[in-house]
Amino acid sequence: MKIDVSKLEQEPLRFDEEFSVDPDRLDCEQVTVPMRVRLEGEVRPRGGIFNVSGNCRVQGSVACSRCLEPVPWEVDEDLSVDYRTPSVVPLDAELGLGADELDVAFLDGDKLDLAELAAEQILLALPMRVVCDENCAGLCPTCGANRNRDGACTCEPEVDPRWHALAGLAGKDHSS
């Protein structure tokens, strides 16, 4: 859903939308299936700045960082983002951002894309790494099988080459 901010007067505009965000829109390897999103809140105009505040609830699954199996994931967070139109921003490239400008985004034209806002909120909320279980064994580096499944990998474990020097000592008698 897109909101035409050029038609907003002084009154806030409420929204309550449910939709899916596709993984390709997130540009993230963790997300492999569409995320269900419920975005509710309001847009308040303030002289060229549009404050979007509300709540973003997301449900879906992300890939385990070790075995790539899907792991259920959900987030329920409040949001507050100020959008500015390019016309209210000075064109001086040397200006720095102040602390109060870190939650500012810029509109592309007169449309506020709620799906884009949701995608940004998902990316901000995603953890760096997700594991299905703390004891997840991951994928076999040789055959790629999921080592959490019994019998999936029949590869012999690799012996660290640093131990080869000690391998000959196992059969020797050290009493002399």
- Residue 131 resides in a domain: no
Indicate whether 146 and 110 sit together in one domain. Answer: no
- Measured CA to CA, the distance from residue 47 to residue 52 in angstroms comes to 14
Confirm whether 52 is domain-assigned: yes
Q: What is the pLDDT of residue 164?
A: 78
Whether residues 66 and 98 share a domain: the answer is yes
Residue 84 and residue 11 share a domain? yes
* DSSP assignment letter at 86: G
User: 57-82 burial, b if ≥16 CB within 10 A, otherwise e?
Assistant: bbebbbbbbbbbbebebebeeebebb
Q: Are residues 21 and 106 in the same domain?
A: yes
Residue 161 has what pLDDT? 82
In a domain, 29, yes or no: yes
Rounded Cα–Cα distance for residues 111 and 90 (Å) = 20
* Domain enclosing residue 109, as ranges: 2-125
| 144 and 102, same domain (yes or no) | no
100, 125, 150 — which closes off a domain?
125
Asked whether residue 85 falls in the same domain as residue 160, the answer is no
pLDDT at 151: 82
Residue 84 sits in the same domain as residue 170? no
| Residues 20 and 58 placed together within one structural domain of the fold | yes
Domain total in the chain: 2
In this predicted structure, what is the pLDDT of residue 96? Answer: 60
In a domain? residue 130 = no
Residues in a beta bridge with 56: 39, 77
Query: Does residue 132 lie in a domain region?
Result: no
pLDDT on residue 99: 58
One domain, residues 112 and 149: no
Same domain? 176 vs 107 = no
Does the residue 64 lie in any domain?
yes
- Alpha carbon 56 to its chain's center: 13
CATH number at residue 8: 3.30.450
Give the residues of the chain that fall short of pLDDT 50.
Answer: none
The SS3 of residue 41 is strand
Residues 44 and 104 in one domain: yes
Q: What residue type is 74 in one-letter code?
A: E
